Structure 1
Amino acid sequence: MSSELSIGNEIKDGHKETYKWVLNNIKWLSELEAFYRDRAKLEKEYSEKLTHLAKEYFGKKSASTVSLSVGDMPTTTPGSLEAASLVAWNEVLSQTEMISKDHNQLSQEFEFQVADQIVALSKKCELLLTSINGFNTELTEKRDKAYSNLDKAKKTYDEKCVQMESARAKQTKTSSDKARRKADEREHEMNIAKNHYLITISQANRIKDKYYFQDVPEVLDLLQDLHESRTRVMNSIWISAGAVEREMNKRIDSRLTTVDSVVSQNKANLDTTMFVKHNLKEWKEPPDFQYVPSSVWHDDEHFVVPSNIELQDLKVRLAKAQQLYDQMNSFSQSEISGLSSLNKQKKEIKAQENVDAQSLLALLTKYTNVVSSYTSHETFKVEAEVEIESIQNNVAEEHDLNTEDIDLSNLRKKSGVFNRFKKSLTISSDKKSTHQDGGDAVSVLSSESKAKHHNRFSLFKGRDRAQSSASGASEVTSSNMNSIQDSSEHNKNRVLFQYQKQDNDEVSVSPGNAISLLTADSGSGWTRIKNDSTGEAGLVPTSYIEINEKPRSSAPRAPPPRKSGNAARTVKALFDYEAQGDDEISIRQGDLISVLKADDGSGWTYGELNGQKGLFPTNYCQ
């Protein structure tokens, strides 16, 4: 990439138009190949057909001038201007018309020394472009996943707030000890959900910043490197074609010298300069995510740690984040020198007077693979780092956040909705090359940490970017955490990590197993599935799988509040409900229940069925 100009610095969030521009120029290679193969055939028929062919390709060039010069969606049109590569190509065609009578004996040379080289270049560029585009897709999916996690966390928090209000209203109505205990449990669940929501907000903000200020610019620069390398190789092929012609026929030497002169002026960054000039656009960074309070409960963005229950949840999160960060930091220390070495080699090749473009393309391919892996790994490190910062910076000093008493290898499932934990992730040794799930590695950024990502990041580029920080926010991580790519469509469920069941109510799964959703995760961290590959059904950790199918229609898990109103004398049950306290009654679908006291807004109705009186969920009936 040229040191004077960087698409990543100049055009913000411009992958789509840059990708199309690079793709147009790679596809253009097929025209050049066709030209030289057709020309080789026409050499035998001598000058008239060769002249006709040159005119034909003049027309093709004119038709594609805009897309090849400034892309498909320029902000300003180029008018009659052409990219430097097109100017060089124009000269090649002009000289071809002039020397058509001298090329009869060059058919074989054009076939093997020109056309075949263009095919090889085209294949290399297409493979590299596919790799870069896949890299961009992965980055976008990670960004979208962070946004989706934020939406889920907000939804869960709102649901817990509603459940808390419902339990509180029920306690007010019955005044039983059990109702009071349930209300306390609901409050703890709500507090935990809020903490998770706050962490997820900051995680989404950090991932957003990383995506727009680090990931997207890196992709754009890779596309720029690819385009400029393609230009260099194409230049060398044109020069080679001229050299063959001069060797075969000294009489056309002066004309080919003219071609060489024009081609030599086609500097690799000239096309880039024109593309940037005609694609500059106004761009504003998407706003940061902000805390949105529940309409029925908390009204500020502060953590809530009123008891050991919330504190224990945060300590477990902190321990997991610290463990993940340590792993990522270890990987980064072992990998950073390798990537730095690749970048040094790339700079040395570019600095040469006669750039070996083939070697540069090969090195660029290797660099793309490593930097793609690095960027993915860094996302997990950032998540872990920000979760640590979030918890340590937002929990009051009087709370002990020492995690020495947290044994991640022995966390077990416990009864109760808000206290379910499982043994730590036990990924088999042959699966350690897969990504860790980032579900628990959520975070809240300090202002200093966030500021680091508002500058372009690169440990390896010679342009204005943020320096690596001591926290390791810009370090390279090992390929041990490469994400699992499934060849099936994205709307299929899939297993992310191998899991060996620990209890009788669980099921073992491995990547590649076909799975079906039975019961969605209600906040416990566990999902009930069926392993279609083995026929077994049971619980698995939610973070070990990816569920894309919609859950099957079923009765609502808990009654949300409903506005009070005049209840009918009798109501009909729509779903089964098992009483969970002495003050409730069990109902079955189709039962006719006598209403003794209408719903007062708590989500519960007091009624009588078969001589038994008690509360039942209002929205289970009509």
Structure 2
Amino acid sequence: MDNASLYSQAQPGAFGAELKDQIPTINQHLVNGISFLNEFRDFCKERANIERDYAHRIEALVRKYQHKKEKKTAQTQNGGVPASPLEPDFDPALYDGTYVQTAHEYDAYTMTTSRAWTSILNDTEALSRDRHQFSENLISKVYDPLKVLATKKDEARKKHVLFAQKLLAEREKSAQERDKAKAKYDASCEEVENSKQKQERAYDEKNQEKLKRSYYQDILDMNNNKNSYVLTLQVLNTHRKKYYDQDLPELSNNMQALDESRIEGLKEVWEGYIRLEAKLNTDAQTHLDSMIQAVQAVDASVDSAIFVRTHRTPWSAPLDLPFESSTTFNDTEELVLDDNARVFLSNKLMKLRRKHAQTTVDINSRLKDMEGLSNLKNAYIENNSLGDPEEVQESILEASRAITVLQTMSALYDAEINTIVQTIGDTGVQNQPHDFKAASFTIPTSCDYCQSTIWGIAKQGFTCRDCGFNCHSKCEMKVPPNCSNVKGGAKAQRNSFLGGGPPSASSPTSTFNTMSSLPPELAPTGTPISELKHRASVRESPSSSSALAGAGAGATDAARSPQAIKGGAPQVGSHGSLNQLQAHVIYDYDASSPGELTVRVGDVITILEGDDDGSGWVTGQLNGSSGLIPLSYIEMEQFYEAPSEVAPIQKVRVLYDYDAQSNLELTIREGDIVVLTSTDCSEGWWEGTLRGMTAQFPANYVELI
């Protein structure tokens, strides 16, 4: 059986049988395959560089922290203190607690956490060395063999390509020989035809004979050229058949064998690459197992016992701080027990008990929350899919911290309560206390205790819910607990005191009288705001001046006192007169009853009656109609008109955002412009008006403009 038949029976999948006359395609396939060898070789080179750099970085990192650990150990052992008394085999269970060491001495290597840390550093360093060796192996066992393999395969490919070019050239040579023979044959045929025509045109016999001999010679040449052409044609066809049926399939199969040998070589290299990777991972697992073993040996109780043993020092509880008398006034630590002090202590006792009761409620609520969180944590521990117990533990700790703070507050309240009870008894002043609530005073109102003016929207004072008693925040604790429990009762008592007579028979009396419980120099005197408005409505005359003077020194002092609020109402004195109060409407309000007044934003109304009883309503007049309007829906325009210089409106610009923590504070945002109403607040706080609301804000959050 000849080679052609062998190739015709080639197995399916052979290049020679399946890829007819596709040497360029097969060659490109070989080029791509060899290029992939170089591509993987470049991958290994970059991987080796990365592994080498990673190993160097890890090694440098480990050495950095080993140096830190060694430095700490050296400082502990050679830092001017004796060597650690701890034994490496110290057993906390056998520790009797008799050793006391004043210096902070401990051998770091006795700590289980330190041993684990040492193991982590050492094994990590070993991992870096393995990585470095792996990078070297990638070069020597993968990169270099791949380079040799790619070079050999490319040289073999080039030989196949040259041979394919040679076979093609031989075939083309046969084709050229056939073309030449065909051309000569065609030329001889034309020559015979030309000779025949010349013979037929000849007239003399002599020329005809000559032309006849030439004609026969041309026929002989034509026949020879034809035979040559037929022979070259047969040669070409035979050559072509062998070229396509034998030479090209054989060359294609040889190129296929080359490609398959390339693949086998790549496979072998890949197996070596994977074995290197597997060895690296095996060695890494060994080091990880060593680290896990060291970490599993960590015992928090052992480390705690070691730390306690090495850091225990003699200690005694601090003594109570003694009472320190003023350098200018020799005094003792006993509480003052005059009438005013008893009133103050009684009020404080009531406040402390309310706070203590609320704190107890808060503690019990927090304890219930902690119990629920503990149950939730246990449920999460039993079933991790429900949630993270660590997050619940953080919530438990937050609740515990809150309880600790509340318990501290409760203990402090107890301390004050016990001290006051030991001094004035369990009940203090036996009477009816006022039920005070924080109140805003947008219209100047007299304090029923000290008779000076209260003014300001930002909770400048208090009003009793039961009797309407008004007072400053600073006066709250000084007010005797003599609430009449009747609306307007406080005003009736105040007017009786100002008139010089005793309270009316219809007014309730109490054990402690507000006026008699204070020393003469602190007795509250003055004129109610309603009387001031009445007096100021008439042009001042000598008689009115004397009448004002007759109201008492307290009234004069109160009238001539400086303004309590910057930019607020000017003082009322002998040179000022009270004008009708006007206000701007800042919100629409529709009357819901006949006694109310409908207003719209921008309306200017006249205030006929202020919020003296703390009800939150004022009586206003607009376009001849009068009625009640909510105090919070208006903004005062002016309170007094005086020929003296009026303080200019002061404004501030907000520098930082601040969110109010209570209804006494003002929420401000960067860039807001706030009208400053007072700087006489708590330390570090100012009062201002923004968007119709007046409250306090941090002074360092704004700048004056």
TM-score interval, smaller chain: 0.3 to 0.5
TM-score (norm 1): 0.35
Q: Radius of gyration: which is bigger?
A: 2
More strand by share: 2
TM-score (norm 2): 0.32
